[in-house]
């Protein structure tokens, strides 16, 4: 049994009741049990990055020279140069007695009994993680779940100065968040070139594990392009054996030139601590998210509109394919660029804009980083024959609101509610057969009008004031037209059963 746990440090600020303490103790017991089976622990969170040039022979030589220099002279100079740019982040949050996972979990923990949501017991707690200064004027990159739901964010520099952090933007799909502090002439890290990174290269992880500031650990790159972990929606992780522990959330992974090559994000562990298997979001993903959030307040991703899966040997044989390379199309969204191109279920995409597609993750990476309105060429295999198609990439529906869903929804008429599109995976998880349209409630703020009305995480909203809701975009359009201080009639589906709620706007 695998669970996802936030690995930044948390401490309760308010004494809970005996019942709550017993509940929390039981949760921690379950956590320990899961560690024994091998847990994925969130290190504190993808838009795949821009295309980077292949290293030249001269850059290879310089790279090898730097690695040799470090091997001979150690890491002291690098550590000294990078630690001032890594900060400690403390987030005050409203916490519940029941264990809360991130906004994209499987919703397996919200019902005490079917149809009987247990009311959360609100208290305040402190979450502690790390962040990386990436500009001299105070922009900081960290993990989304370090600041998710935070009422206040405090940033402490290495010199012990403290600042109030403002959340510039968040991208839950990559577990990234951008903060800003009011300061100037700060030490900062430059983004590194991931294309020059190789398995076996030396790296340093810098952060604040267990609240111990400016901790530096050393290791190597164990693997590149790790995906399918279930940590974030978009995954292309750098795997390292540099020690990453709770509190390293959002910290820096740097190369031997002191450049930022990754944001420390997760560890795989049987004990809850580092066991030499850590994961960092590569700079090639984090930097475009940073640039887009700072410039636009949201992350814009390209959209093709297909469901895809890995090919197996048996599938390849059945589809008359020579190997298992490519992305097998399982679904074509109505009205999508894929439909316009003529893609069909059962096609195998093997080439996209001149890039060989080796697996679904490769296609996802290439599509999401394609600028909107770009015309693209796609090569597919259909019935054993190669065909070439073309289409124009559109903006991913999630890009319109979901990249900043926390801020956008909290500022909407239904304050304190976060939602996301319902898809087949979520519908199956929630046990809703045959329902693939609507929005799923991923968070309800304690004490909000929505919570008082009975809205709970996992509810599927299909109508508001008798206007049908098919997507996140429609939800935002309808909600934006609601009248303040009036009651909204909301139709939700809970455990497969329809239920009307009235929520004061």
Burial of 437 (0-12, 13-18, 19+ CB in 10 A): middle
Asked if residue 384 lies in contact with residue 408, where contact means CB atoms within 8 angstroms, the answer is no
Q: How far is it, in rounded angstroms, from Cα 99 to Cα 24? A: 8
Q: Is 113 helix (H, G, I), strand (E, B) or coil?
A: strand
Full DSSP string of 290-347: HHHHHHHSS---EE--EEEE---HHHHHHTT-SSS-SEEEEEE-TTSHHHHHT--TT-
Full DSSP string of 190-246: PBP-GGG--TT-EEEEEE-GGG-TTEEEEEEEEEEEE--SSSSSS--EEEE-S---T
Asked if residue 464 lies in contact with residue 488, where contact means CB atoms within 8 angstroms, the answer is yes
Out of 3, 63, 139, 145, the active site residue is 145
Q: How far is it, in rounded angstroms, from Cα 455 to Cα 448? A: 10
Out of 175, 236, 398, 421, the active site residue is 175
Contact residues for 253 (Cβ-Cβ < 8 A; gap 6+) = 203, 204, 205, 206, 238, 240, 242, 260, 261, 262, 263, 264, 280
Task: Verify whether residue 175 is a known catalytic residue.
Answer: yes
Closest CA to 366 of 398, 333, 389, 393: 393
Out of 9, 44, 222, 249, the active site residue is 249
Helix and strand numbers (H, E) in the chain are 13, 32
Asked if residue 299 lies in contact with residue 289, where contact means CB atoms within 8 angstroms, the answer is yes
Asked if residue 251 lies in contact with residue 207, where contact means CB atoms within 8 angstroms, the answer is yes
Asked if residue 170 lies in contact with residue 214, where contact means CB atoms within 8 angstroms, the answer is no
Asked if residue 7 lies in contact with residue 211, where contact means CB atoms within 8 angstroms, the answer is no
Task: Verify whether residue 249 is a known catalytic residue.
Answer: yes
Task: Verify whether residue 313 is a known catalytic residue.
Answer: no
Q: How far is it, in rounded angstroms, from Cα 335 to Cα 374? A: 17
- Report phi then psi at 484, rounded to 5: -60, 140
- Report phi then psi at 429, rounded to 5: -60, -40
Query: Across the strands, what pairs with 155?
Result: 89, 163
State the Cα torsion 441-445-449-451 to the nearest 10°.
Answer: 60
* Start-to-end C-alpha separation, the chain: 41
Would you please indicate which residues are annotated as catalytic (active-site) residues? Answer: 145, 175, 249
């Amino acid at each position: 049994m695998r669970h996802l746990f936030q690995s930044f440090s948390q401490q309760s600020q308010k004494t809970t009741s005996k019942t709550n303490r017993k509940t929390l103790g039981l949760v921690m017991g379950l956590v320990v049990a899961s560690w024994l089976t091998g847990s994925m622990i969130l290190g504190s969170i993808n838009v795949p990055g821009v295309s980077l040039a292949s290293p030249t022979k001269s850059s290879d030589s310089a790279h090898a020279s730097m690695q040799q220099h470090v091997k001979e002279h150690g890491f002291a100079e690098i550590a000294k140069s990078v630690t001032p740019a890594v900060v400690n982040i403390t987030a005050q949050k409203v916490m519940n007695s029941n264990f809360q996972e991130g906004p994209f979990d499987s919703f397996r923990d919200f019902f005490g009994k079917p149809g009987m949501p247990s009311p959360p017991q609100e208290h305040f707690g402190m979450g502690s993680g790390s962040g990386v200064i990436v500009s001299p004027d105070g922009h900081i990159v960290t993990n989304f779940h370090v600041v998710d739901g935070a009422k206040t964010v405090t940033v402490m520099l290495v010199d012990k100065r403290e600042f109030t952090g403002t959340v510039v933007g968040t991208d839950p799909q990559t577990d990234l968040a951008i903060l800003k502090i009011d300061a100037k002439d700060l030490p900062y890290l430059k983004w590194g070139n991931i294309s020059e990174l190789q398995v076996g290269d030396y790296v340093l992880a810098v952060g604040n594990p267990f609240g111990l500031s400016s901790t530096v650990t050393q290791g190597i790159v164990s693997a590149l392009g790790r995906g399918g972990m279930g940590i974030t929606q978009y995954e292309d992780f750098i795997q390292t054996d540099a020690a990453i522990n709770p509190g390293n959330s959002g910290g820096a992974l740097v190369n031997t030139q002191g450049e930022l090559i990754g944001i420390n994000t997760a560890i795989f562990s049987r004990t809850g601590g580092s066991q030499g298997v850590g994961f960092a979001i590569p700079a090639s993903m984090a930097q475009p998210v940073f640039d887009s959030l700072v410039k636009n307040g949201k992350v814009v991703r390209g959209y093709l509109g297909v469901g895809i899966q890995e090919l197996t040997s048996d599938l390849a044989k059945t589809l008359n394919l020579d190997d298992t390379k490519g992305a097998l199309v399982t679904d074509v969204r109505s009205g999508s660029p894929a439909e316009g191109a003529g893609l069909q279920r059962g096609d195998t995409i093997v080439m996209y804009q001149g890039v060989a597609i080796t697996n679904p993750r490769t296609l996802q990476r290439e599509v999401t980083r394609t600028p909107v309105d770009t015309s693209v060429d796609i090569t597919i295999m259909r019935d054993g024959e190669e065909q070439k198609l073309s289409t124009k990439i559109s903006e991913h529906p999630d890009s319109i609101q979901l990249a900043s869903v926390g801020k956008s929804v909290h500022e909407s008429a239904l304050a304190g509610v976060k939602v996301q599109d319902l898809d087949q995976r979520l519908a199956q998880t929630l046990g809703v057969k045959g329902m693939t349209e609507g929005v799923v409630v991923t968070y309800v703020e304690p004490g909000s009008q929505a919570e008082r009305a009975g809205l709970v995480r996992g509810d599927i909203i299909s109508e508001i004031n008798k206007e049908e809701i098919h997507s996140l975009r429609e939800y935002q359009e309808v909600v934006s037209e609601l009248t303040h201080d009036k009651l909204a009639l909301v139709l939700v589906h809970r455990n497969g059963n329809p239920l009307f709620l009235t929520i004061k706007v």
